[in-house]
Amino acid sequence: MVYDVGEKRVNKALKVGRRYLSWVQNSVFEGELSPALYQQLKADMGHLLDKTHDSVIFYTWRTERYSTREILGQERGTGDPFL
């Protein structure tokens, strides 16, 4: 999940993202969700958005076989995803 929200909603979006996924960097999260949790995440993010200015993008992969992840530079969000 990647989000771009107004400054006043950044902390709320961060908290919602951390409830469901692992923080990767700034406004980027990743993780596996059941279909029910995915729908709940979308609903929670939808409630805090200003739909005329904010956006959230969800990327899904049908299988890990076709996904790769390469990091250049400093890796962020490598700590424990639970606070």
Q: Is residue 13 part of a domain?
A: yes
Q: How many domains does the chain have?
A: 1
Taking the chain (83 residues) in runs of 10, the rounded mean pLDDT of each run is: 95 96 94 94 95 92 77 68 46
- Reference 28, options 69, 63, 83; nearest CA is 69
Give a yes or no: residue 78 inside a domain. Answer: no
Per-residue buried b or exposed e for 19-37, using 16+ beta carbons within 10 Å of the residue's own CB:
ebbbbbeebbbeeebeeee
Please state, as a whole number, how many other Cβ atoms lie within 10 Å of the Cβ of residue 81: 14
Domain interval for residue 37: 2-66
What letter does residue 52 receive in the DSSP assignment? T
Nearest to 40 by CA among 58, 27, 63: 58
pTM value is 0.79
